[in-house]
């Protein structure tokens, strides 16, 4: 069974649009857990455009499943993460101009920095992973710097159509198989939706999917419980369970 990590950043986006106190991403996370989510994911960005440090602190106290922190490997974030100790950290690239994370981390070009960040956070007892594009060089570099798992960027697959989407899917399958052979855990996410999630959830090596925007978009209309349950049903069906 593939686990579902629900990313609640977009709940914080609505709150921050008005600099208000509602809707609260912590409450959203609790509802997602009650509906069956296996993990809560947030991205604390250096510009604090959605999730705030206060959210992370409360989530650490309240989340009963697992807390996955997405963050850049900067000294500021390493200090915050070392203090809060999420269950797992997925290192991601970050640029101030982007609307959302645009691709995987360039692991090959910053191996020393990443190795150091990973070792320090693993010492604090945190499971460490890296968000990568589905390419073998990034995968090998992720293994070399000590990551315990990878999260494969599914954005190109999600954007492609027809035959191009099949090619993008095959790249994800290949990297998932290689990662498992290297002893790495395999997660995936980005731009996954109720309509494109099934082939990704069916990949045998994939243990967890992180999905944010499409679940929150549906939750706005039908409620968090229904939105999470509908996604869980799809990913269970993809693996041939009920």
- Name the residues that contact ligand PXP, by CB under 6 A: 7, 9, 43, 70, 90, 92, 100-101, 131, 151, 189-192, 210-214
Structure tokens at 156: 């190109």
Q: How far is the CB of 211 from ligand PXP (least distance, A)?
A: 4
Instruction: Tell me how many degrees the CA angle 45-19-44 measures, rounded to the nearest 5.
Output: 15
End-to-end CA distance of the chain: 11
The answer to whether 50 is a known catalytic residue is: no
Closest residue to ligand PXP: CB criterion: 212
Q: Residue 68 is inside which H or E element, if any?
A: strand 67-71
User: Which member of 10, 33, 50, 70 is catalytic?
Assistant: 70
Q: How far is the CB of 102 from ligand PXP (least distance, A)?
A: 9
By the 10 Å C-beta count (0-12 exposed, 13-18 middle, 19+ buried), 7 is classed as: buried
Asked if residues 131 and 153 have their Cβ atoms less than 8 Å apart, the reply is: yes
Q: Mutual orientation of helices 25-34 and 53-62 as an angle, nearest 10°?
A: 30
Q: How far is the CB of 195 from ligand PXP (least distance, A)?
A: 13
What lies within 8 Å, CB to CB, of 182 at 6+ separation is: 139, 140, 143
Residue 75 CB neighbour total at 10 angstroms: 8
Q: Which is nearer to ligand PXP, 52 or 242 (CB)?
A: 52
Q: Which is nearer to ligand PXP, 135 or 163 (CB)?
A: 135
Q: How far is the CB of 194 from ligand PXP (least distance, A)?
A: 11
The answer to whether 190 is a known catalytic residue is: yes
Q: Residue 151 is inside which H or E element, if any?
A: strand 149-153
Asked if residues 98 and 71 have their Cβ atoms less than 8 Å apart, the reply is: no
Task: Please report which residue ranges of the chain form alpha helices under DSSP H.
Answer: 9-17, 25-34, 53-62, 75-84, 111-123, 136-144, 155-159, 162-181, 197-201, 213-222, 224-238
Q: How far is the CB of 72 from ligand PXP (least distance, A)?
A: 11
Q: How far is the CB of 174 from ligand PXP (least distance, A)?
A: 20
Which residues are annotated as catalytic? 43, 70, 190
């Amino acid at each position: 069974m593939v686990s579902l990590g629900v990313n609640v950043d977009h709940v914080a986006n609505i709150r921050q649009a008005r600099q208000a106190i509602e809707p609260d991403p912590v409450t959203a996370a609790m509802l997602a857990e009650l509906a069956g989510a296996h993990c809560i994911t947030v991205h604390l960005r250096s510009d604090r455009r959605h999730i705030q440090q206060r959210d992370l602190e409360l989530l650490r106290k309240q989340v009963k499943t697992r807390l996955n922190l997405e963050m850049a490997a900067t000294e500021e974030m390493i200090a915050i993460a070392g203090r809060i100790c999420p269950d797992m950290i997925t290192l991601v690239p970050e640029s101030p101009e982007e609307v959302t994370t645009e691709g995987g981390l360039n692991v090959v070009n910053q191996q020393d920095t990443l190795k150091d960040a990973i070792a320090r956070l693993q010492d604090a007892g945190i499971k460490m992973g890296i968000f990568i594009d589905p390419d073998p060089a990034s995968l090998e570099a992720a293994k070399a710097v000590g990551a315990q798992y990878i999260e494969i960027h599914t954005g190109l697959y999600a954007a492609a159509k027809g035959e191009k989407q099949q090619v993008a899917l095959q790249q994800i399958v290949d990297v998932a198989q290689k990662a498992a052979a290297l002893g790495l855990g395999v997660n995936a996410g980005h731009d996954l939706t109720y309509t494109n999630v099934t082939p990704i959830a069916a990949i045998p090596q994939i243990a967890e999917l992180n999905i944010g925007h499409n679940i929150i978009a549906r939750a706005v209309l039908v409620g968090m419980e229904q939105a999470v349950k509908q996604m869980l049903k799809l990913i269970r069906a993809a693996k041939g369970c009920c």
